[in-house]
């Protein structure tokens, strides 16, 4: 799973067409440079690479009014759209994704129809429950024999994380079932991360 691909494709998709500075601003506002590898250099590199791979279409625009070089705007191709949605779905359904993958997926969850998002999250809960049962049955010491020592705490950590992650996921499912957020196909929503005139506080 490429967090960078998911983040960059999702950020471009929100605008329809976006240049690198817009993508960078959006991701920095979300704090993605803190919890993922979405640093400025890697964002611009990812845009160029995915354009070469046919996931993005590059458009050269007019030079900036300040006299700078022409900016390149990007938009998703059909292959880019398919890749983005595939990455988004996987980020939500898999129980063993890294936190940056899950965080990215939740950030773009509104790009999915409500029922599909709920179904993917239910898959995640089921996988977490199976994983917890496996750890409890095959890995967790029932007592704390001397030969386990502090290593037994690893299994307890795994179980704790599985339980708390499943609880959070169920809460999100309930909120979605209750009508929270404007999901795909439910009407217009703002694509702007920053309100008009507001500067990026993390920039």
Beta bridge partners of 75: 57
Residue 51's region, left for phi above 0, alpha for psi from -120 to 50, else beta, is alpha
Tokens representing 37 are 């590898």
Residue listed under structure tokens 């920095």: 28
Q: Quick one: average pLDDT of 55-69?
A: 76
Mind listing the pLDDT tens digit for each residue in 74-101? 999 999 999 999 999 999 998 887 888 8
Element (H, E) at 43: helix 40-52
pLDDT at 167: 97
Measured CA to CA in angstroms, residue 199 lies from 21, 25, 28, 133, 193 at distances of 13, 9, 11, 48, 11
Mind listing the pLDDT tens digit for each residue in 99-110? 888 999 999 999
Of the candidates 104, 82, 83, the one whose C-alpha atom is nearest the C-alpha of residue 92 is 104
Measured CA to CA in angstroms, residue 119 lies from 66, 76, 92, 122, 123 at distances of 49, 26, 10, 5, 6
Q: How many CB atoms lie within 10 A of CB 119?
A: 15
Residue listed under structure tokens 């993390």: 202
Q: Quick one: average pLDDT of 124-129?
A: 96
Residue 97's region, left for phi above 0, alpha for psi from -120 to 50, else beta, is beta
- Of 115-129, 133-147, 174-188, which gets the smallest average pLDDT? 133-147
This prediction has a pTM of 0.84
Cα separation, 57 vs 50, whole angstroms = 9
Tokens representing 193 are 């991360």
pLDDT band at 29 (very low <50, low <70, confident <90, very high): confident
pLDDT at 128: 95
Show Cβ contacts of residue 38 under 8 Å, excluding neighbours closer than 6 positions: 3, 4, 7, 8, 27, 32
Res. 199: pLDDT tops 70:
no
């Amino acid at each position: 799973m490429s967090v960078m691909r998911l983040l960059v494709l999702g950020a471009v998709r929100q605008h329809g067409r976006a240049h690198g500075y817009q993508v960078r601003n959006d991701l920095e506002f979300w704090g993605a440079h803190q919890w993922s590898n979405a640093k400025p250099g890697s964002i611009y590199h990812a845009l160029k690479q995915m354009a070469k791979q046919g996931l993005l279409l590059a458009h050269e625009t007019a030079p900036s009014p300040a006299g700078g070089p022409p900016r390149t705007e990007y938009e998703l191709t059909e292959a880019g759209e398919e890749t983005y949605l595939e990455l988004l779905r996987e980020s939500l359904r898999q129980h063993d994704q890294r936190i940056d993958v899950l965080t990215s997926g939740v950030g773009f969850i509104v790009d999915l129809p409500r029922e599909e998002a709920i179904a993917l999250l239910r898959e995640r809960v089921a996988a977490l429950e199976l994983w917890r049962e496996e750890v409890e049955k095959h890995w967790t010491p029932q007592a704390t024999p001397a030969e386990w020592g502090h290593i037994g705490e690893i299994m307890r950590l795994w179980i704790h994380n599985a339980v708390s992650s499943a609880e959070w996921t169920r809460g999100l499912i309930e909120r979605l079932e209750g009508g929270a957020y404007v999901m795909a196909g439910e009407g217009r929503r703002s694509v702007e991360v920053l309100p008009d005139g507001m500067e990026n506080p993390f920039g």
